[in-house]
């Protein structure tokens, strides 16, 4: 214990023999860690914005559907009223515990919309106007007119692209046709444009029509059945766990999916973006690593006589190895402390103020089926901070191995006589 | 094994040490054999380049002989690895260098107690012992000074305190007085002699200073890496 104490003490004091070099080395690593945390925060923040944006555009954090609906998407694959009731009772006792903020019933169907000026293929979404207004972002995307209400049974909110193709304005009428569930019959319905929305998602705006849930159920002859019970959560990170619980505890004819399965394109985009970010960060740290490795090695080589002295005094190779590792570890401790403060401070700034990228792109840019917000807000989890800190420790340890081996090697007794 | 060999604390048999410099092989030691008994006060004399430092390094296991064998106590150094050699030095050998060689980041007290710390001697015992030793070498009140704040003589006293604090069987000193003024050099020699007399510590020190040689009880003369003579002198009465 005593010897470890003195090795730690010597290691610490050795750092401050060349104060400028230590500050520069620790400063470089701190800055690197700070920037890494900043990049991770902004990257994760932008991903979360994209996910939340997509969830607000008709998707969900977690969704319960008839098993197979996600893959096949058949109109007839519905949840019956009793299955919906089962989902409600499953949630009832634990809604607060699971952090479920909204439960939304939805119906989806492909169809054809036509007006006096033309026709276009559409995707019809039947939803509950009031809960959806509170939980989704459709309402905020209206550029003309107003959102759906339960009272307006035949009102519809249409995408800007649909409006353009059919030359529709709020208040004008158009017809929607769709195949009814379980038969080849085509049903049609006359609707009136309540509002026009622009989400920034080209495909979505070109084809989406929102109608009240009962209207869609009537058109598709679904009765009380729905295609999806969407759950909105307080915490995005809980999605997978809640989906897992649903899979375990809800009837086997249903499937409970997290946003990762509901939006595979977005999930894959985030994976690719994360991968590119990891490669960039790794290259960035590799450059820093070379600088630190050089500094550590130099600091050992210029103390060859001192290591020879320690050897002569009975300081075993293991202890000399440990001494260099501890010197590097002290640098890592300092760097992680300062770097975390720097990174967290940067995160806090961009968490509150955001990083404006609107000079590079407008809000209409989308990727992976989600709109990229032109102002990116940082999101930094403790898991990310811990991961980055562990990486710095591990990297410093690896970088210290060669200098430590050199320090442990000794065999410089001839230097002891030199003044 | 003879009685003398059994009692010897250090024994060299046919030790040679050759270095390769460029294309040439340089002989630093050539067929050196001698034994040092417990409590001896031995000077290794000879001009610069005669092999004194190499001999001390070989005796401590800091350098390996090209041929021949070195025993420290009853342990053959050629059979020990670097780790075991370091442990052996920690347990049995004290070092004093011409260049003082204190650990610059430690205070005088911490330098002096360094070996005891590594040996795991408890705090109280260590402090008491080192305090007394620093007082004995005339460094009372300077315990917390770093080497840079001490004179050459004071640094060498700390080195002596470090070397003897753990009561090693053997103290190896490489030209310990070479960088000291005459008064400090003699005062250091007096101290070493007293420790030898009072603690029975064996000293083997190199020097080329005739005044220092006079103080030794035995002088081994080296020339070109070979023992030229090995003479015993009458023990000087203090």
pLDDT for B188 equals 80
A376-401: per-residue pLDDT in tens?
A: 899 999 999 999 999 888 988 899 99
Size of interface A-B (CB pairs under 8 A): 91
Confidence of residue A291 (pLDDT cuts 50, 70, 90): confident
- Chain B residues with CB under 8 Å of A318 CB are 83
CA distances from A83 to A59, A240, A248, A336, B235 (A): 20, 21, 15, 52, 108
Give the closest of B87, B117, B121 to A316, CB-based: B87
Q: Is the pLDDT of residue A126 over 90?
A: yes
The answer to whether B104 contacts A316, with C-beta atoms less than 8 Å apart, is no
Mean pLDDT of A94-111: 92
Q: Output the pLDDT for position A2.
A: 66
Which runs of E-coded beta strand occur in chain B? 8-21, 24-37, 41-45, 67-72, 75-76, 93-96, 170-174, 202-207, 218-223, 226-232
Query: β-strands A254-258, A62-66: how paired?
Result: antiparallel
CB contact under 8 A, B83 and A14: no
pTM for this model (two decimals): 0.78
Average pLDDT, chain B: 88
The string of pLDDT tens digits covering residues A62-82 is 999 999 999 988 889 999 999
Q: Which of A99, A168, A157, A161 is nearest to A133 (CA)?
A: A157
Nearest to A317 among B63, B86, B115 (CB): B86
pLDDT value at residue B195? 82
- pLDDT band, very low/low/confident/very high, at A1 (cuts 50, 70, 90): low
Structure confidence at residue A284 (pLDDT): 85
Whether the per-residue pLDDT at B4 is higher than 60: the answer is no
Suggest the residue from A13, A312, A320, A415 to mutate for an interface test with chain B (most B CBs closer than 10 A). Answer: A312
Interchain pair B86, A414: CB under 8 A: no
Of the listed ranges A213-217, B60-64, B220-224, B232-236, the least confidently predicted one is B232-236
pLDDT digits (tens, 9 = 90+) for A212-244: 999 999 999 999 999 999 999 999 999 999 999
Q: What pLDDT is attached to residue A94? A: 84
What distance in Å separates the CA atoms of residue B102 and residue B153, rounded to the nearest whole number?
A: 12
Phi, psi of A150 (to 5 degrees): -65, -30
Split at pLDDT 50, 70, 90, the class of B236 is very low
pLDDT tens for each residue of A3-24: 788 899 999 999 898 899 999 9
Q: With H, G, I as helix, E, B as strand and everything else as coil, classify residue A68.
A: coil
Chain B positions in Cβ-Cβ contact with residue A417 (cut-off 8 Å): 53, 97-99, 174-175
For chain A, which residues make up each domain, given as ranges? 2-54+267-417, 60-262
pLDDT higher than 90, residue A323: yes
Contacts of A407 in chain B (CB under 8 A): none
From B84, which residue of chain A is nearest by alpha-carbon distance? A316
Lowest mean pLDDT among A209-223, A355-369, B149-163: A355-369
Q: Is there a contact between B175 and A417 if contact means CB atoms under 8 Å apart?
A: yes
SS3 A79: strand
Which of B103, B127, B167, B171 is the best substitution to test chain A (most A C-beta atoms within 10 A)? B103
Of A152-166, A220-234, A363-377, B58-72, minimum mean pLDDT range: A363-377
| Residue A158 · residue A193 · CB < 8 Å | yes
Phi, psi values for residue A145, rounded to 5°: 75, -155
Question: What ipTM, to 2 d.p.?
Answer: 0.87
pLDDT tier at A362, thresholds 50, 70, 90:
low
Calculate the CA dihedral of residues A329, A335, A337, A341 and round it to 10 degrees: -170
Whether residue A310 and residue B57 make contact (CB cut-off 8 A), yes or no, is no
Q: Is the pLDDT of residue B1 over 80?
A: no
User: Which residues is B95 bridged to in the sheet?
Assistant: B172
Mean pLDDT of B108-131: 92
Residues on chain B touching A410 (C-beta within 8 angstroms): 82
Residues of A in contact with B110 (CB under 8 A): 6
Q: How far is B2 from chain A (nearest CA, A)?
A: 30
Q: Does A19 touch chain B (CB under 8 A)?
A: no
Mean pLDDT of chain A: 90
Mean pLDDT to the nearest integer, A305-310: 89
What integer pLDDT is reported at residue B238 of this predicted model? 40
Give the separation between CA A8 and CA A161, rounded to whole angstroms.
Answer: 68
> With left for phi above 0 and alpha for psi between -120 and 50, is residue A314 left, alpha or beta?
left
The domain B3-232 is classified under which CATH number: 3.30.390.10, 3.40.30.10, 3.40.50.300, 3.20.20.70? 3.40.50.300
Residues of A in contact with B162 (CB under 8 A): 313
Q: How far apart are the first and last CA of chain B?
A: 35
With a cut of 80, say whether residue A367 has pLDDT above it: no
Chain A positions in Cβ-Cβ contact with residue B106 (cut-off 8 Å) = 10, 13
CA A157 to chain centre: 29
Is A3 an interface residue toward B (CB < 8 Å)? yes
Q: What's the pLDDT score for residue B143?
A: 92
Task: Determine whether the interchain pair A417/B97 forms a contact, defined as Cβ–Cβ distance below 8 Å.
Answer: yes
CB A29 within 8 A of CB A335: yes
- Range B97-125 average pLDDT: 90
**Contact list, B20 vs chain A (CB under 8 Å):** none
Is the pLDDT at A40 greater than 80? The verdict is: yes
User: What pLDDT digit, counting tens, does each position of B124-157 carry?
Assistant: 999 999 999 898 888 889 999 999 999 988 998 8
- Nearest-neighbour CA in chain A from B90: distance (Å): 4
* Percent of residues, chain A, with pLDDT higher than 90: 67
Residue B23 binned pLDDT confidence (cut-offs 50, 70, 90) = confident
């Amino acid at each position: 214990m005593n010897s470890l104490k003195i090795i730690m003490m010597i290691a610490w004091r050795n750092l401050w023999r060349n104060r400028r070099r230590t500050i520069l080395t620790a400063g470089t690593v701190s800055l690197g860690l700070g920037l890494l945390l900043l990049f991770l925060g902004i990257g994760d923040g932008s991903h979360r914005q994209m996910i939340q944006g997509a969830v607000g555009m008709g998707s969900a954090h977690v969704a319960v559907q008839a098993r197979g609906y996600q893959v096949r998407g058949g109109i007839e694959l519905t949840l019956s009223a009793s299955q919906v009731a089962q989902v409600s009772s499953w949630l009832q006792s634990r809604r607060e515990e699971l952090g479920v903020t909204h439960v939304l019933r939805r119906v989806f169907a492909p169809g054809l919309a036509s007006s006096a000026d033309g026709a276009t293929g559409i995707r019809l979404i039947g939803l509950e106007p009031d809960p959806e207004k509170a939980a989704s972002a459709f309402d905020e995307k209206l550029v003309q007119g107003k959102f759906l209400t339960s009272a307006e049974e035949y009102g519809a909110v249409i995408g800007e692209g649909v409006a353009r193709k059919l030359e529709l304005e709020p208040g004008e009428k158009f017809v929607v046709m769709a195949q009814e569930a379980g038969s080849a019959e085509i049903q049609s319905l006359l609707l009136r444009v309540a509002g026009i929305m622009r989400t920034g998602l080209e495909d979505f705006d070109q084809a989406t029509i929102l109608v009240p849930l009962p209207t869609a159920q009537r058109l598709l002859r679904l009765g009380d059945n729905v295609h999806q019970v969407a759950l909105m959560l307080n915490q995005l990170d809980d999605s997978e766990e809640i989906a897992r619980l649903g899979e375990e505890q809800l009837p086997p004819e249903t499937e409970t999916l997290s946003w990762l399965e509901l939006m595979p394109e977005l999930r894959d985009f985030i994976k690719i973006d994360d991968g590119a970010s990891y490669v960039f960060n790794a290259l960035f740290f590799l450059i820093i690593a070379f600088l630190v490795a050089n500094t550590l090695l130099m600091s050992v080589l210029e103390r060859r006589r001192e290591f020879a002295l320690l050897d002569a005094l009975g300081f075993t190779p293991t202890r000399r190895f440990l001494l260099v590792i501890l010197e590097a570890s002290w640098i890592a401790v300092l760097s992680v402390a300062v770097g975390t403060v720097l990174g967290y401070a940067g995160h806090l700034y961009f968490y509150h103020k955001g990083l404006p990228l609107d000079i590079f792109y407008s809000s209409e840019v989308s990727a992976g089926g989600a709109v990229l917000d032109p102002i990116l807000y940082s999101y930094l989890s403790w898991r990310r901070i811990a991961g980055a800190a562990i990486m710095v420790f591990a990297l410093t340890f690896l970088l210290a191995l060669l200098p430590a081996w050199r320090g442990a090697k000794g065999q410089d007794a001839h230097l002891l006589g030199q003044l | 094994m003879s009685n003398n060999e059994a009692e010897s604390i250090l024994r060299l048999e046919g030790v040679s040490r050759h270095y390769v410099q460029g294309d040439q092989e340089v002989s630093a030691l050539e067929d050196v054999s001698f034994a040092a008994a417990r409590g001896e006060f031995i000077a290794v004399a000879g001009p610069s380049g005669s092999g004194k430092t190499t001999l001390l390094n070989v005796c401590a296991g800091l350098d390996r002989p090209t041929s021949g064998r070195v025993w420290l106590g009853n342990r053959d150094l050629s059979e020990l690895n670097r780790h075991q050699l370091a442990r052996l030095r920690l347990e049995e050998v004290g070092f004093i260098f011409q260049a003082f060689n204190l650990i610059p980041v430690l205070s005088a007290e911490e330098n002096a107690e360094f070996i005891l710390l590594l040996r795991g001697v408890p705090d109280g015992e260590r402090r008491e012992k080192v305090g007394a030793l620093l007082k004995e070498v005339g460094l009372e009140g300077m315990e917390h000074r770093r080497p840079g704040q001490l004179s050459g003589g004071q640094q060498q006293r700390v080195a002596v305190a470090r070397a003897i604090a753990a009561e090693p069987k053997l103290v190896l000193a490489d030209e310990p007085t070479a960088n000291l003024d005459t008064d400090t050099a003699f005062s250091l020699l007096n101290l070493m002699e007293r420790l030898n007399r009072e603690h029975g510590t064996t000293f083997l020190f190199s020097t080329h200073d005739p005044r220092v040689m006079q103080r030794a009880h035995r002088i081994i003369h080296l020339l070109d890496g070979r023992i030229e003579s090995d003479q015993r002198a009458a023990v000087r009465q203090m």
